[in-house]
Amino acid sequence: MSTPPTSSKAPKLTDLKSPQTDLDGHDLPPSPASSTPRNGRKYALATELVYTESKDQYGSSSMPIYQSATFKPLPGGNGGYDYTRSGNPTRTHLERHLAKIMNAARTLVVGSGMGALDVISRLLKPGDEVITGDDLYGGTNRLLTYLSTHQGIVVHHVDTTEPEAVQRVVSEKTAMVLLESPTNPLIKIVDIPAIAKLTHGKNEKCLVVVDNTMLSPMLCNPLELGADIVYESGTKYLSGHHDLMAGVLAVNDQGLGDKLYFTINSTGCGLSPNDSFLLMRGIKTLAIRMEKQQANAQAIAEFLENRGFRVRYPGLKSHPQYDLHWSMARGAGAVLSFETGDATLSERIVEAARLWGISVSFGCVNSLISMPCQMSHASIDPKVRKERNMPEDIIRLCVGIEDIDDLIDDLSRAVSCISINDIDCANVFQLVQAGAVKVTLDGFHAIPIAQEVAAEPLEESDAAGPSF
C-alpha cells in the first residue's frame, strides 16, 4: 500500500501564515478562487458539472470527506486550513466547483437556503429598506417579517412582475431588492435585467439579490442578468435527492464575497464536510436530472391544460410572460401549478395521488404534490395570501424523473377518483360554470380507479361519466 507524501521537516509556528496553495494546487486562499480547468478551456455546462481537477494526495477521483474540525500546520505553511468553521478542503472543493458552473468569481456554501438569505441579510443595517415581491417563498417571507419587526428593516412587498412597481419605491434608502423568478407557486416571471438596471440607475449601492432556486444554474445565471448576489437552496435541484440541506451564495464582487464570508466564519454556518460531499455528488447529475424533469413537466402541463385546468408553467405558450421567461432562462424548470376552482376538491386530489408524494420542497428525483397555502406558504397569514391573490385551491406539482405515463396515469386516477366518488354533480357543474374545470368524455380517467375503489362495480355509463 502506498503512503502519503511526508516531510522530515518539522512544522514551525511561523508556518501558520496565510496559505499559498490549497488541495487543488491553486496558489490562492481556499475559498475565493474559481475552479476553471487549468487549460482555461470552457466546456459546455453538462461537461463542467462532472469535470473536476482535484489534486488529492491519493489521486482519489471523488473529493474525500475531510471530517476533521482542526488542521495542523504543514511544513512551509501551505496547508490552508486550521479550523473547519473557517474552511475545510471538502467545502472548498465544492465552492470552487460551484463558482465554475455559476460563472461566479466566488461562491460560498452554508447549511440551508434560508441560512444563505440570513447571511445576506446581515449586510443590512437598521433603517435600510428592502423591496421584494408579493409571491415569495413562505420562509423568505417569514425571515423578512422578522427583520422588519425586530431589526428595524423596512420591507416593501410589491408586484415585482411590474418593474414600474419597483421603480416607484426604490430610493437612496433602498439597500436591497430581493427577487425570485419564476415566483412560487403563482409562477410569475420577474424581469431581472430591467429591475437590476432601474435599481442601479437610481441607487448604485443597492444590492440586487436573486433567489435562483426554481431554475438552478443549469437554466439561469442571474449574475449575468445584472444581479449582485445570487443564492439558491442547494436542498433542491443542486442536490436532487432530498437527502441534505444546503444553501449556496454566488457573487462576482470579491469585496462582497469577503463580507459574506465574514458572517459565515463568524456565525459558523458553513456547510459541513459530509453535506459538502453529498452536494458535490448531486451536482454532477444536475444536467441529466433537469432534462428529464423538464420533459416530464412539459408533458404534464400540456396534459392538464388540454383538460381545461388553469395551468401555470413557463413552458406553455399560454403563459402570459412566456417570451420574458425565455429571454432570461434556458428552460422552463420542473415546477408547475394548477387550480381546480375548489380548495376541498384540490385537497382530495392531493390525498388521492399515490406516486406523487405529498411533500413540501421541489427539485428532487421523486415527483411531489402539495397545496402551498396549507404547506410551504402556510406561514403567510391567510389575509395576506388573499391580498396577494394566492388561490387557496392551487396545487403545486414538482415533477421528478419517473416514467411519464405512470405520472400522468397516477394524476388521472387521483382526479377521476374524486370525480366519481367524492364530488356531487352539482359541485362539478358549478366548477364547470365557473370555468375552472372542463368536463370531457375522453373516458380514460375513471375506469381503473373506479373498479378499485368502488364497493359495487360501476355501470358502464358511470365509468364513462364526467371526469376532469
Q: Is 108 or 423 the residue whose CB approaches ligand PLP more closely?
A: 108
The answer to whether 395 and 338 have CB atoms below 8 angstroms apart is yes
Q: Is 183 or 412 the residue whose CB approaches ligand PLP more closely?
A: 183
Q: Does 357 bind ligand PLP (CB under 6 A)?
A: no
The answer to whether 402 and 366 have CB atoms below 8 angstroms apart is yes
Q: What is the dihedral of CA 393, 399, 402, 405, to 10 degrees?
A: 60
> 78: phi > 0 → left, psi -120 to 50 → alpha, else beta; which?
alpha
Q: Is 172 or 243 the residue whose CB approaches ligand PLP more closely?
A: 243
Span from 79-87, 112-120, 388-396, 431-439 in contact with ligand PLP (CB under 6 A) = 112-120
Whether 137 is catalytic is: yes
List Cβ<8 Å contacts ≥24 apart for 353-358: 353/410, 353/411, 353/413, 353/414, 354/410, 354/413, 354/414, 355/402, 355/406, 355/407, 355/410, 356/397, 356/407, 356/410, 356/411, 356/414
Catalytic residue among 24, 118, 191, 211: 211
Q: Is 104 or 364 the residue whose CB approaches ligand PLP more closely?
A: 364
Q: Which amino acid is at 122?
A: R
| 210 three-state secondary structure | strand
Q: Does 121 bind ligand PLP (CB under 6 A)?
A: no
- Which residues in 219-238 contact ligand PLP (CB under 6 A)? 233, 235
The answer to whether 360 and 376 have CB atoms below 8 angstroms apart is yes
Q: Does 211 bind ligand PLP (CB under 6 A)?
A: yes
Q: Does 183 bind ligand PLP (CB under 6 A)?
A: no
Whether 122 is catalytic is: no
Give the nearest distance from C-beta 247 to ligand PLP in angstroms.
Answer: 6
For 154-193, give the DSSP string: EEEE--TTSHHHHHHH--TTEEEEEEESS-TTT-----HH
Span from 26-34, 53-61, 87-95, 137-145 in contact with ligand PLP (CB under 6 A) = 137-145
Q: Does 270 bind ligand PLP (CB under 6 A)?
A: no
Q: Is 114 or 131 the residue whose CB approaches ligand PLP more closely?
A: 114
Provide φ and ψ at 140, rounded to 5°.
Answer: -65, -45
Give the nearest distance from C-beta 270 to ligand PLP in angstroms.
Answer: 15
Whether 211 is catalytic is: yes
Angle subtended at Cα 296 by Cα 291 and Cα 299, rounded to the nearest 5 degrees: 130
Span from 12-20, 207-215, 283-291, 310-318 in contact with ligand PLP (CB under 6 A) = 207-215
Cα-based distances in Å from 9 to 3, 12, 196, 206: 17, 9, 54, 51
- Cα dihedral across residues 201, 204, 209, 210: positive or negative: positive
Provide the 8-state DSSP code for 337. Answer: E
State the residue number with the nearest CB to ligand PLP: 113
Q: Does 112 bind ligand PLP (CB under 6 A)?
A: yes
Q: Does 98 bind ligand PLP (CB under 6 A)?
A: no
Q: Does 139 bind ligand PLP (CB under 6 A)?
A: yes
- Which residues in 140-179 contact ligand PLP (CB under 6 A)? 140
Q: Is 34 or 112 the residue whose CB approaches ligand PLP more closely?
A: 112
Q: Is 235 or 467 the residue whose CB approaches ligand PLP more closely?
A: 235
Q: Does 245 bind ligand PLP (CB under 6 A)?
A: yes
Q: Does 298 bind ligand PLP (CB under 6 A)?
A: no
Catalytic residue among 85, 122, 259, 388: 85
Site size toward ligand PLP, by CB under 6 A: 16
Q: Is 79 or 111 the residue whose CB approaches ligand PLP more closely?
A: 111
Comparing CA positions, the residue from 422, 415, 403, 423 lying closest to residue 442 is 415
- Which residues in 10-29 contact ligand PLP (CB under 6 A)? none
Q: Which residues contact 58 (CB under 8 A, 6 or more apart)?
A: 2, 4
- Residue in the block written with cell 461566479: 104
Q: Does 113 bind ligand PLP (CB under 6 A)?
A: yes
Provide the 8-state DSSP code for 364. Answer: S
- Which residues in 408-447 contact ligand PLP (CB under 6 A)? none
CA–CA gap between residue 296 and residue 316 (Å, rounded): 13
Query: Catalytic positions, please?
Result: 85, 137, 211, 236
- Which residues of the shown chain bind ligand PLP in the complex (CB under 6 A)? 112-114, 137, 139-140, 180, 184, 211, 213-214, 233, 235, 245, 247, 361
